[in-house]
Structure 1
Amino acid sequence: MPRLSARVERPLAMTLGGAALGARTRAGLTQAEVARRVGVQLEVYGRIERGEMFPSVPTLRRLCVTLGIGSDALLGLDGALEPQGSRPGEARELRRLTSAAKGLSVAQLRLLHRLAETLHPSAPE
C-alpha cells in the first residue's frame, strides 16, 4: 500500500495528536491509561499524541472508543462536514449536548427537553 507523503502525513498526525490530547484531558485519563486501554505501548501512544506517528486503522478505532471521540473529530473533519443550512459550529454543539445528555436520568432528560422548548418553541402542531 502506498505511503502518504511526509508533507501530508505530518499535519494530519499533528491534528490527530492534538485532538487525542484534548479528549484524553477532558476524560481525565493519563497517557498510560489510554495506552493500556487501546493496547499499545506508552511510548507509542506518546508519539501519536505528539503527532510523530499516525496509528493504524484498528488502533484509530480503539482510540475513538477509549477517548469517547468520533473519528471525524480526531481527523479534524468535524467542522468540515456541517449540514447544509446549519450555522457554523451547530453540529458540533449538538454533538456536545447529546454527549452530555447520555448520562442523564429520564426525569433530567424531560427537564432538559422542557428547557429546550422554552428557549426555542416549536411550531404549533
Structure 2
Amino acid sequence: MRAARMRAGLTQAEIAASVGITPEVFGRMERGKMLPSVPTLFRLCVALRSGPHELMGFVPPASLPQAAQRQVPPELADTPETRRLLRLMGRLQGLQLKLILRLVLAFLTEPRRPRSQKRNRR
C-alpha cells in the first residue's frame, strides 16, 4: 500500500481523508496490522489508482514457485478453516510470512507416501 501511496505523492492523512477513515487506521493498514473492509479496499483502489492485489501485498502468480501456483480446490476455497487461517496470517510480519510460505511449499512438494507406509513407520 505504501508504494502505491508514495507513487501517488500523497500523505497518509490525505489518503485517509479521501476514503473516509482516520489517518491512524490507514497507518495500521499500511503497516499490515489490520485489513481493510471490502468497501474501504475498493475506495483505496480508486484513490490510489491501484488494484487490490498490489494494495494487499500479493505478488503476481507467475513470480511464485511452480508448486505455489496450484489452485485451491473449490471445496476448500471458502471454509471456516480457510477464513480463520487467512485472518490469522493477516497478523504476521514479513519474515513470519516467508517462513509460512516455505512451510506450505514443503508440504506441497513433499512426495506423498501411501497410508500403509505411514502406519508402519511408528
- The TM-score, its normalising length taken from structure 2, stands at 0.48
- The TM-score, its normalising length taken from structure 1, stands at 0.47
